[in-house]
Amino acid sequence: MSVVQLADGELNYLLEGPADAPVLVLSNSLGTDLHMWDVQIPAFTEHFRVLRYDTRGHGQSLVTKGPYSIEQNGRDVLALLDALDIQHAAFCGLSMGGLIGQWLAINAPQRLSKLVVCNTAAKIGSPEIWNPRIETVLRDGAAAMSALRDASIARWFTEGFAAHEPARVEPIVGMLAQTSPEGYAANCAAVRDADFREQIGAIELPVLVVCGTHDAVTTPADGLFMTSRIAGAQQVEFHAAHLSNVEAGELFTQRVLDFLLS
């Protein structure tokens, strides 16, 4: 892995694939890290120079004082692209990563070629959901992260997948238990405060909206809201809960590739 030095710390990233291929940026969900995309990498790197990174507060990246904002996380992406001299890239983000993608498409569309937003919404949840979680995590630290790990299995995966695919589930939920409590809480605030419902209609990029039929966090209806407001946007729905890239696996990978390569 490598790091880029930001003004306030280091952003951890991996850059893989042919040096002359177009760039695809992958952005992780809240409580995971860049390895949430491991299953996609073999196929994606056949066609793209894949740049994945740990969002601020996650993985091996910097943990600074919160709260954070989606704009701050979006500007981290722009700083990463600038540091690597990448002028133009496709972007695929899931959940919080999808919010970051929306911010970039609204505020820096010249840097993106196409956008894939997965298991996300123009606004995710409410302060009544986020504030108690933030308070608990800041108060209880690592113990709270372990408790969230167990609770997240049911949010992130369908019951059948969690029961029958523990080897695929455990590494992902393990990322949550290892996430910095301070970084997690700061990013909960970023997700809480993000609201692009009045802005997404300005997005003119080609957009694919990916949903999970059983996603109770960001529902297919949330996806339809975005699709109906972004001109020309496409939508696909998989038999999955919140982490459709893991649960839908090859089907997810192929559909995203079909969109990016069209």
With a CB cutoff of 8 Å and minimum separation 6, the contacts of 228 are none
CA torsion sign for 96, 232, 114, 9 is negative
Q: At what angle do helices 96-107 and 70-83 cross, to 10 degrees?
A: 70
Q: What is the pLDDT along the chain (262 residues), one digit of tens a residue?
A: 799 999 999 999 999 999 999 999 999 999 999 999 999 999 999 999 999 999 999 999 999 999 999 999 999 999 999 999 999 999 999 999 999 999 999 999 999 999 999 999 999 999 999 999 999 999 999 999 999 988 899 999 999 999 999 999 999 999 999 999 999 999 999 999 999 999 999 999 999 999 999 999 999 999 999 999 999 999 999 999 999 999 999 999 999 999 999 9
Q: Does the model's pTM come out above 0.95?
A: yes
Structural domains of the chain sorted by starting position, each given as residue range(s) with its CATH number in brackets? 2-261 (3.40.50.1820)
User: What three-state secondary structure class fits 135?
Assistant: helix
